[in-house]
Every structure is written in structure tokens, then in C-alpha cells.
Amino acid sequence: MLSLITPTVEYEDSYQSYLDELGSAERYPFTLDFEFNDFATLVARLNNLSLGIDLPDGSVPSTTFWLVEDSEIVGVSNLRHRMTERLRLLGGHIGFGVRPSAQGRGVAKELLKQTLTQAGHLGMSEVLVICLEENIASSRVIEANGGRLESEYSVPEYDGLLRRYAIPIDKVAT
Ligand SMILES: CC(C)(COP(=O)(O)OP(=O)(O)OC[C@H]1O[C@@H](n2cnc3c(N)ncnc32)[C@H](O)[C@@H]1OP(=O)(O)O)[C@@H](O)C(=O)NCCC(=O)NCCS
């Protein structure tokens, strides 16, 4: 069973092994880049971000979720509570990633689905999700969750095209 939870100190070992598996690969969502010495401080930082406490300049509140299977974190998502002009181009409402050893068996689809449910709980009727055009797996995950391709465009920060999808919350796949 795959359960979506908010960060808690009990998962320190699993979180560390998740980071170890990622190695030097780019980390999605961005909160996986947060450095820490003390895990409880990291958990507090993540939960403060969700509450809008100690937000960096220009950031909006965002909730980090862990998708847990058999006491292991197998996926991580981050749900932005509001849109900004920058997020509309880079980032969208939701960033997500799956532990390398858990990829290729539908974990991301479930992760996005459960994160969309949380977006609905926040009162959102539609979310924007952005991925690189070349990221076929990500596009499939988004489309499987009702994503409609809204726009393809380029930005100076990335080579290649970005795809922005709109997902109506009431059309989330069951
Ligand atoms: C993208 C990512 C989240 C997909 O996770 P996942 O758990 O493997 O995805 P799923 O198992 O739910 O499969 C999703 C779809 O992608 C397809 N897929 C998976 N890996 C693929 C690959 N390398 N190339 C093409 N398609 C691929 C699957 O076949 C499936 O499609 P289907 O149902 O039509 O067959 C994962 O690869 C990842 O964490 N990548 C790095 C971070 C990232 O890119 N995040 C998205 C940022 S927008």
C-alpha cells in the first residue's frame, strides 16, 4: 500500500537511503536539496515551509509529501499553495520524483494522484505541472492523471522545450 504522509522524524534512515540512491542525480522536488546535520531540524524546516514560516524571499508556502511503502519512502512531491509568474514558467504547482529502485511500476502515477487529492483539499480546482519535453516518463505520469498539454515553450534556464500541463482536480484518475 502506498500512503502519502507529511515529513516526520521516524523516516530518517529511509530518507538518507533515498538520497544515497539518488547520488549525484538531479533531485526532484527541490526540497531534496535541503542540507541538514540534524534530521529533526530538516523535518521542522519542511513543515514550516508548508505553514509559510521562514519562507525565502519570493517563495510561496509549499507542502512536501513522502509516499511511503512498507516503511520506506518511495516518492517525494512538493505542492505549491499559490502560483507566481516564475512558477508559471518554472516549477508549476507540483514537483515530484521517485526513488530509483522504485521506478517503473506506477509509483509516480500514484504519487501525483494522491498529491492532486491534497491540492483539492487546499481548495484548488486546477493545478499546473511542468516537465521537460524530453522527460517522457513524467509526461506519461501527468497525462495519466488527466493532464492537458497547455503550452510548450523554452526558457533560458534549460536547453530544450518545457511542457506545461493543466490538470483539473475533479478529473483526477481513480
Ligand atoms: C519521472 C518519474 C517520476 C517517473 O516515475 P515512475 O514511478 O518510474 O513512473 P511510473 O512507473 O508511474 O510510470 C510512468 C510512465 O512512464 C513510463 N516510463 C517510465 N520510465 C520511462 C522511460 N525511461 N522512458 C519512457 N517512458 C518511461 C512508464 O512506462 C509509464 O508509462 P505507461 O503507463 O504509459 O507505460 C521518475 O522517472 C523520476 O523520479 N525521474 C526523475 C525526477 C523527474 O523527472 N521528475 C519529474 C519532474 S517534472
Domain ranges of the chain: 3-124
Task: Report CA(137)–ligand 1 centroid distance (Å).
Answer: 3
Q: What is the pLDDT of residues 49-61, one digit of tens each?
A: 999 999 999 999 9
Pocket test for ligand 1, best of 24, 93, 98, 130 (most atoms within 8 A of CB): 98
Residue from 77, 109, 138 whose mutation best tests the ligand 1 pocket (most atoms within 8 A of CB): 138
Q: How confident is the model at residue 170 (pLDDT cuts 50, 70, 90)?
A: confident
Question: Cβ(32) to ligand 1 under 6 A?
Answer: no
Question: Does the pLDDT at position 150 exceed 70?
Answer: yes
| pLDDT of 173 over the 80 cut | no
| pLDDT surpassing 70 at residue 108 | yes
Check pocket membership of 149 for ligand 1, CB cut-off 6 A: no
Index of the ligand 1 atom closest to the CA of residue 131: 48
- pLDDT tens-digit series, residues 78-105: 999 999 999 999 999 999 999 999 999 9
pLDDT of residue 174: 44
Average pLDDT, the chain: 96
CB 78 within 8 Å of CB 4: no
Segment 11-15 mean pLDDT: 98
Quickly name the fold that domain 3-124 has.
Answer: Aminopeptidase (3.40.630)
Q: What percent of the chain has pLDDT over 90?
A: 97
- pLDDT at position 67 over 90: yes
Q: Determine the distance separating the centroid of ligand 1 and the alpha carbon of 121, expressed in angstroms.
A: 26
State the pLDDT at residue 135: 97
Report the 10 Å Cβ neighbour count for 4. Answer: 17
Judge whether residue 171 has pLDDT over 80. Answer: no
Q: What is the average pLDDT across 166-173? A: 77
- Strands 62-69 vs 72-80: parallel, antiparallel or unpaired: antiparallel
CA of 109 to the centre of ligand 1 (A): 8
Compute the residue count for the chain: 174
Q: Measured from the CB, is residue 61 less than 6 Å from ligand 1?
A: no
CA of 52 to the centre of ligand 1 (A): 31
Q: Residue 133: which of 97, 94, 160, 155 has the closest Cα? A: 160
Partners of residue 126 on adjacent β-strands: 168
In angstroms, the CA 55 to CA 53 distance is: 6
CA distance 79 to 125: 14
Task: Supply the pLDDT for residue 7.
Answer: 98
